[in-house]
Amino acid sequence: MALKFGTDGVRGIANTELTPEFALALGRAAAQALGGGRFVIGRDPRRSGDLLEAALTAGLLSQGADVLSLGVVPTPGVSFVARTTGASAGVVISASHNPMQDNGIKFFGSDGKKLPDATESAIQAALANDFDRPAGSGVGRLTHSSDPIAAYANFLSGTLGETTLAGLKLVIDGANGAASYLAKPLLERLGAEVIATHCEPDGLNINAHCGSTHPEALAARTKSENADAGLAFDGDADRVILADRYGRIFDGDRILLTGALWWKLDRVVGTVMSNMGLELALQAAQVRLERANVGDRYVAELLVQTRARLGGEQSGHILFPELSPAGDGLLTALQILKIVKDSGRDLSVWYDNMTTLPQKLVNVAVKERDGWESDSAISAAITDTARSLEGRGRLLVRASGTEKLIRVMAEAPTETEVAAVCERVASAIREVRGA
């Protein structure tokens, strides 16, 4: 299997798809394409991280690049260290919210931003190159140090300004991932009382029925503890989903709305998957919602184009371009808790600023996913259905990027209508293209 860069680096099942041989070659290619220098590497705690980091490091060193290994650290921590220490690049070994058996390798530039497509293409192309082999003093050196993580924690603390978290009771879910060792001490240092769950990684339990993709247990615990907020991170801690004291899930859409209202923004960037309820709530506050394609890199691009100060995804991957170029679950949590403290309004009050429209997603298996847009019967069904929802809901139809599926997503005022809308369009697709 020839792995290629996707929307978030290279991913696959560790040691069978994402092999140490590939990681070694990728390290060599990255050193050549990015011009050597010093690379900062961090990882999440999944077991295969040691294997892949060793191979990737060997590839970099073999081309004369030096490596600083941070060990287990949140993905945005690698971005921070890369951009503040003069590194050539930052590299993260993580599959984020994916299951334990998966892993991935993604790169940040010296500016802390994810590499542009053209640079990733250059690394991809360099995989096929022949390489000179430096010897003696030309071989790179490896250094292990977690000291820069303290600077990252200080940066996070500094974003609160004069605000403290004193008086707040928090429940956190570290997803048995990269936030497990950092989140609790950081929040306690800032004055909060913290109850930690799923912060005991063993290399196998990352994201296992916990974290931002499974926030239900956190929400229940937040309610039972009568805590002010719950915070659920994903495996590499670049996302966070919150819960209020009533056990209600406070997702990325509500995070965007809260920031927009408190900071009196004129626009925010979401994605095509942002709920219509967010758009309606923003409209009521005279805030424009700009929609990017799914993926934080596309949110980042639209933030630059629109000069917006806040953007993100429903998944809790939020970007504050004035504070950091990388999505950061801890940073996001701190900014929302700062709003709670500075406003004097409980998180549950901010929750009530938005009503989420019922949303349904139907995946239709098809013989071929290409060319469906040109089919007149499908186009007619989509046009008629979208017209019926105008001003009250939303319809999004798109092909899967990896599977023979057409995804039909609809939002409408009621569960009954959203189910009927999805079935109407899905039936038209099945009739013409169904597998």
* Domain contains 196: yes
Domain C-terminal end among 297, 324, 351: 351
Same domain, 315 and 202: yes
**pLDDT at residue 357, rounded to an integer:** 93
**pLDDT at residue 110, rounded to an integer:** 96
**pLDDT at residue 3, rounded to an integer:** 76
* Domain contains 5: no
CATH code: domain of residue 276: 3.40.120.10
* Domain contains 293: yes
Tell me which of 48, 62, 94, 96 is the catalytic residue: 96
Domain C-terminal end among 95, 124, 147: 147
* Domain contains 256: yes
Residue 118 CB-half CA count within 13 A: 0
What's the total number of domains in the chain?
3
DSSP 43-81: E-S-THHHHHHHHHHHHHHHTT-EEEEEEE--HHHHHHH
Same domain, 428 and 321: no
CB atoms within 10 A of CB 299: 25
Give me the amino acid identity at 156.
L
Same domain, 364 and 289: no
**pLDDT at residue 6, rounded to an integer:** 75
Same domain, 87 and 186: no
Same domain, 259 and 328: yes
Same domain, 368 and 335: no
| Active site (annotated) includes residue 96 | yes
Q: pLDDT under 70 in the chain at which residues?
A: 1-2, 7, 401-402
Same domain, 217 and 309: yes
* Domain contains 152: no
Residue of 181, 153, 164, 176 lying closest to 233 (CA atoms):
176
Same domain, 271 and 337: yes
241 lies in which domain range?
159-351
Same domain, 167 and 254: yes
* Domain contains 197: yes
Same domain, 188 and 336: yes
What tens digit of pLDDT does each residue of 356-374 get?
Answer: 999 999 999 998 878 888 8
Domain C-terminal end among 91, 119, 147: 147
Same domain, 46 and 135: yes
Same domain, 48 and 118: yes
pTM for this structure?
0.91
Give me the amino acid identity at 248.
R
What tens digit of pLDDT does each residue of 113-128 get?
Answer: 999 889 999 999 999 9
Residue of 76, 84, 97, 20 lying closest to 53 (CA atoms):
20
CB atoms within 10 A of CB 263: 12
**pLDDT at residue 8, rounded to an integer:** 76
**pLDDT at residue 244, rounded to an integer:** 98
CATH code: domain of residue 388: 3.30.310.50
Task: Tell me the β-bridge partners of 10.
Answer: 105
